[in-house]
Amino acid sequence: MVTSTPPNNRIGLTLADYKGSPSTLCDGCGHDAITSQIIKAFYDLGINPHQVAKLSGIGCSSKTPAYFLNRAHGFNSVHGRMPSVATGVSMANHTLKLIGVSGDGDTASIGLGQFCHLIRRNVPMIYIVENNGVYGLTKGQFSATADLGSKAKSGVLNELPPIDLCGLAIELGCSFVGRSFAGDPKQLVALLKAAASHNGTAVLDVISPCVTFNNHEGSTKSYKYAKEMETPLHELGFIPFYEQISVDYEAGSVQEVELHDGSKITLKKTERDYDPTNAVNAMSTIKKAHQDKQFLTGLLYINEQVEDFTTIMHVGDEPLATLPESKIRPSKESLTEIMNSLM
Amino acid sequence: MKTLAEGSKEMVEKGRVVNDFSIHVATVNGSGSQSSNSVLMRSIFQMGIPVSGKNLFPSNIAGLPTWFTIRVNKDGYIARKQEIDILVAMNPQTGIEDVKSLSPGAVCVSPIEMKLDAVRSDVRHYQVPFGELAGKASDNLKLKKLLTNMIYVGVVADLLNIDHKQIEEAIAKQFEGKTKAIDLNLNAVKIGREWSKENIKKEDPFQVEPMNKTQGKIIIDGNAAAALGCMYAGVTVVAWYPITPSSSLTEQLIDYMKDHRMDPETKKPTFAVIQAEDELAAIGMALGAGWAGARSMTSTSGPGISLMAEFTGFGYFTEIPTVIFDVQRVGPSTGLPTRTSQADLISAHYLSHGDTKHIVLLPGSVTECYEFGMEAFELAEKFQTPIFVLSDLDLGMNNWMSDPFAYPTKPINRGKVLNAAELEKLGGFERYKDVDGDGIPYRTLPGTDHPAAAYFTRGSGHTEKATYTEKPEDYKNLMDRLEKKFNTARQFVPAPIVETVKGAKIGIIAFGSSDFAVQESRDQLKAMDIQTSYLRVRALPFTKELKQFVDAHEHIYVVDQNRDAQLRELIRTELPEHALKIQSIRHYDGLPLYANFVTDAICAQEKK
């Protein structure tokens, strides 16, 4: 396909080729900030949009796949059940790059079961939770990720403890778990690129303030609160496999983790020394952050050694969806053999 | 012994009843009687005599009563027969009730210590010292229990005169190459047979004689047959959640595919099967796979259908192909999960919310389980929609005699899917536009390398270009096209099987596994000079043959194995002008329908 615009990324596409329809979310919505970083990450990586499938459940967050990658097939499914659809898509065609966008209601309540089983199977996909602590489309009810004591717009205090989706994901053996903030584009885009290079389920819990229903004083998911409280675990960088740049770091100041496709994620130490390859440490860090009311962001956990679902299914390189008849309909002789055994 | 079947009278000679009776074996589940019952049934089948086997089992793994009924019928009737001719009463828990259910003159084989002769004196009792005989078969306590089952096979074989050679073959088939097991079991049969020969004076009319009516026939259950249909249809993605009575469909499919669906070059499977976390996920996976271009399926039963409701409607509105097998059973939760029923007809047909109606295939034999299993995938991709195949526990889990299945003659047709080259030629496409006037749009698969290939799948609010809309005219346009597509399907779903008898005023309509009993009932009615025509519905939506049939008959009886006369209600809705003349025959106690039930119901109505 010849286009009039000069090629920009490594496969010759422009940033516009990665865009979607205009957003219909509220002005200033955190979700739109995340959408922009998804567009940037896929553009920067030079992923061909037609090789991507975008999936979602129901909620404000789940509308967003319409706002990026217009050239990718999209599937806005039913509430809480995007993981099963993604699993089916992955089984039918494991060569597709899957990106799922969900919200805290869609994942932590109605979809909690499917979320858990997706992780347990390690279905290769990026799973983003656009987490704002409220149900936006139904006008401001608390979700299961709302913090204890967080105040609703109506003034009601949340009396139930939150479900920490990152902690849960690590407990379930998730091989890539990150937490970020819609207002931290630099960190978010690095995490998105790393997630796209990971082979397995990559969960990104992104605090994404709801400007209409949860951005007030007393909310723990507001822009103001998140900006003030964000404590990055490290400074994240990403080196794609096709750019073998070597950067000189001060000895011991940067941890590099090599991803499945040969890309590298670089973790520059802050005042704390955090190793994201240790699950037990990750869990205690998350627990402690809750106690101290800290908002920790970064790559919480990574394990590149876990087999992904496609490997476990033992299927061949060719997608099952497009195998020819000669491969999927056994011979006439085979039926005769079976019939004889039943006589 | 009276039987109304034509041609049977001459076989009842000098007090002999040959090749026309039922054997009812009462045991405890988990006792290992299944292999013995199979051997008994197979031996008779191998003698060329038509048989059918039904397992009536509890929702339990060990210790509760279970019954296996073998119907032996020279005329080839394989529906359930209500009367029991030979009872093998091995379960002390149910012995008294079992023997009470017999008709006078029936045979009862039982362990001597159960003293069942004290319960009924009008039944022919053969009391066997099973405990003592088991001691001769083995010293091992566990083996003794198992081999007792083969001892009753030996006793029954002697009483009925079953060829020993056939027993040997059936045992060899049952225990495939396990020499030690074969020897032990054969010896147990021999012990039973010899004891019977020496100690029993046969005083009943029942016996078998070789025939040639099973040559070239197979014995298979409907779930295995459906599994074969799926395999030859080229299913590639299977998502399921275990539930009785459908589990054995997918389990047998997995076994068959391991043998026959490995890529000869790569040695990798050409399929993927996933045991989902629940039915909500199973249907989601099936739809995801169907959307991505795989031939996908799920198999379940009533409770699973309820859980799949939301997603099935989503599949209907977004037009995603997949196949849903519903092996029907009785109602929710605990209760009768192991009993048969046809009560999901309406719920499956209209499953979900917001004006949905689905294509439903209704196999009435194991052959049709196979054929419709295959056809369902063709229709799913042709019409881009979830297709139901409604079988039931009786058809799915019981053993049926059948002609061997035929290899498909048509190549696989993936429906209206546009590839990159076609898109280039067309310059683009509109996902939900009715280009051909049949209500069926074109689709593309994710991964298609063309900038115009992608579209966005979303629920009920979409334009022809698959963009978001809440406009009334767009919604109505979608609904009307979906209806048009549904009506197009009337020309492509399996047409009913119609047998019109000249001059018959009565027309019987039935579907699914009721066929066996209805066919037998029609012969019974014919013997009483009551002529009937017959239409067996094989799919929803209805086809033109239904109206012609109802128009042509004065009295219509619709046979349903459910309380609410679900097929009758659907027919009344389809043909309101005939509502009054369409009567119902409903059988719904959880056991399979039998011929006399239909015959009696029609006689009672016709005598009015």
Question: Given this model, what pLDDT does residue B7 score?
Answer: 34
Least-confidence region, from A170-174, A248-252, B543-547, B576-580: A248-252
Q: Which one of A25, A118, A328, A337 makes the best mutation probe of the B interface by having the most chain B beta carbons within 10 Å? A: A328
Residue B220 forms beta bridges with which residues? B400
Report, as an integer, the average pLDDT of A214-218.
95
Confidence at residue B2, expressed as pLDDT on a 0 to 100 scale: 30
**What is the reported pLDDT for B375?**
98
| Cβ within 8 Å, pair B260-A334 | yes
Amino acid type, A324? P
B69, β-bridge pairs = B24, B54
Interface test with B, best of A47, A52, A85 (most B CBs within 10 A): A85
Q: Which residues of B touch A334 (CB under 8 A)?
A: 260
Spans of chain B below 70 pLDDT: 1-14, 608
Nearest CA-CA distance, residue A76 and chain B, Å: 5
- Which domains are seen in chain A, by residue range? 15-322 (3.40.50.970)
Cβ contact, residue pair B234, A328, below 8 Å: yes
Which of A66, A121, A342 shows the shortest C-beta gap to B219? A342
Query: Which pTM does this prediction carry?
Result: 0.95
- Express as a percent the part of chain A with pLDDT over 70: 98
Residue B454 has its nearest CB partner, among A50, A81, A85, at A50
Task: Please judge whether A316 and B266 are an interchain contact, meaning their C-beta atoms are less than 8 angstroms apart.
Answer: yes
C-alpha to C-alpha distance for A77 and B286, rounded to whole angstroms? 13
- CA separation, residue A25 to residues A66, A67, A212, B351 (Å): 11, 10, 10, 33
Cβ neighbours of A47 in B, within 8 Å: none
Preferred mutation among B285, B410, B443 to probe A, highest tally of A CBs within 10 A? B285
Give the chain B residue nearest A332 (alpha carbons).
B407
Whether B234 sits inside 8 A of A329 (CB atoms) is yes
Which residue from A minimizes the CA distance to B405?
A: A339
How long is chain A? Answer: 343
Q: Check A330 against B232: CB less than 8 A apart.
A: yes
Exposure pattern of B206-236 as b/e (b: 16+ CB <10 Å)? bbbeeeebbeebbbbbbbbbbbbbbbbbbbb
Which residues from A are below 8 Å from B404, CB to CB? 339, 342-343
> What is d(CA B80, CA B24) in angstroms, rounded to the nearest whole number?
11
Structure confidence at residue A83 as a pLDDT band (50, 70, 90): very high
As a whole number of Å, the CA-based R_g of chain A is 21
Q: C-alpha dihedral over B101, B105, B110, B116, to 10 degrees?
A: 70
Interface test with B, best of A18, A52, A63, A75 (most B CBs within 10 A): A75
Token pair listed for B365: 């034999």
Tokens of B319: 């037009």
Question: What are the chain A neighbours of B455 within 8 Å (beta carbons)?
Answer: 73-74
Give the distance from residue A63's alpha carbon to the nearest chain B alpha carbon, in angstroms. 10
Q: Count the Cβ atoms, other than its own, within 10 Å of residue B356.
A: 21
CB A104 within 8 A of CB A143: yes
Nearest to A71 among B404, B412, B454 (CB): B454
pLDDT digits (tens, 9 = 90+) for A5-40: 557 999 999 999 999 999 999 999 999 999 999 999
Interface test with A, best of B41, B43, B47, B237 (most A CBs within 10 A): B237
CB contact under 8 A, B314 and A343: no
- Residue from A52, A63, A317, A335 to probe the interface with B (highest B Cβ count within 10 Å): A335
User: Does the beta-carbon distance from A73 to B446 stay under 8 Å?
Assistant: yes
Residues of A whose CB is below 8 A from B314: 77-78
Token pair 């088939």: residue: B173
Pick from A81, A313, A342: which is nearest to B220 by CB?
A342
Q: Which conformational region is residue B54 in: left (phi greater than 0), alpha (psi within -120 to 50 degrees), or beta?
A: beta
Residue of A nearest to B453 (CA): A71
For A320-342, the pLDDT digits (tens) are 999 999 999 999 999 999 999 99
Using a CB-CB cut-off of 8 Å, the residues of chain B touching A332 are 407
Alpha helices, H only, chain A = 30-45, 60-63, 82-92, 104-108, 112-121, 165-171, 185-197, 223-229, 279-291, 309-313, 325-328, 332-341
Output phi, psi for A254, to 5 deg: -130, 135
Out of A71, A73, A320, the one facing B451 most closely (by C-beta) is: A71
Model confidence band, residue A80 (pLDDT cutoffs 50, 70, 90): very high
CB contact under 8 A, B310 and A78: yes
Which residue does chain A place closest to B402, by CA atoms? Answer: A343
**Counting beta carbons within 10 angstroms of the beta carbon of residue A1, is it exposed (0 to 12), middle (13 to 18) or buried (19 or more)?**
exposed
Contact A321 B451 (CB under 8 A): no
3-class secondary structure, B22: strand
> Which pLDDT score, from 0 to 100, does residue B150 have?
97
Q: Describe the strand order of the beta sheet including A234-239 as a list of residue ranges.
A: A234-239, A264-269, A254-258
Predicted confidence (pLDDT) per residue in A276-325, tens digit: 999 999 999 999 999 999 999 999 999 999 999 999 999 999 999 999 99
CB distance A92–B411 less than 8 Å?
Answer: no
What is the C-alpha separation between B320 and B318, in angstroms, rounded? 6
Q: Collect all residues with Cβ–Cβ distance below 8 Å to A50 and sequence separation of at least 6.
A: A71, A72, B446, B447, B448, B449, B450, B451, B453, B454
Q: Decide if A320 and B294 are in contact by the 8 Å CB cutoff.
A: yes
What phi, psi does A276 have (nearest 5°)? -80, 5
- Burial environment of residue A95 by CB neighbours within 10 A (0 to 12, 13 to 18, 19 or more): middle
At B12 the pLDDT is: 43
Q: Residue B446 is nearest to which of A83, A96, A343, comparing CB atoms?
A: A96
The string over B245-260, giving b where at least 16 C-beta atoms fall within 10 Å of a residue's C-beta and e elsewhere, is bbbbbbbbbbebbeeb
Q: For chain B, list the domains and their CATH numbers.
A: 9-207 (3.40.920.10), 220-402 (3.40.50.970), 420-489 (no CATH), 497-607 (3.40.50.920)
Query: Chain A closest CA to B237's CA: distance in Å?
Result: 7
CB-CB neighbours of B533 under 10 Å: 21
Q: Evaluate whether B410 touches B262 at the Cβ level (below 8 Å).
A: no
Model confidence at A1: pLDDT above 80? no
Q: What is the mean pLDDT of chain A?
A: 95
- Distance from the Cα of A89 to chain B's closest Cα (Å) equals 5
Reported in sequence order, the residue ranges of B60-177 that DSSP labels E, i.e. its strands, are: 65-73, 86-89, 107-111, 124-128
**Looking at CA atoms only, how far is residue A44 from chain B in angstroms?**
19
Q: Enumerate the residues of chain B whose CB falls inside 8 A of the CB of residue A83.
A: 281, 284
Residue of chain B with shortest Cα separation from A88: B285
What pLDDT is recorded for position A246?
72
How far apart are the C-alpha atoms of B133 and B191, rounded to whole Å? 7
pLDDT at site A5:
53
Q: Which residues of B83-121 are buried (b: 16+ CB within 10 A; e: fewer)?
A: bbbbbbbbbeebbbebbebbeeebbbbbbeebebbebbe
Contacting residues of B for A339, CB less than 8 Å apart: 218, 404-405
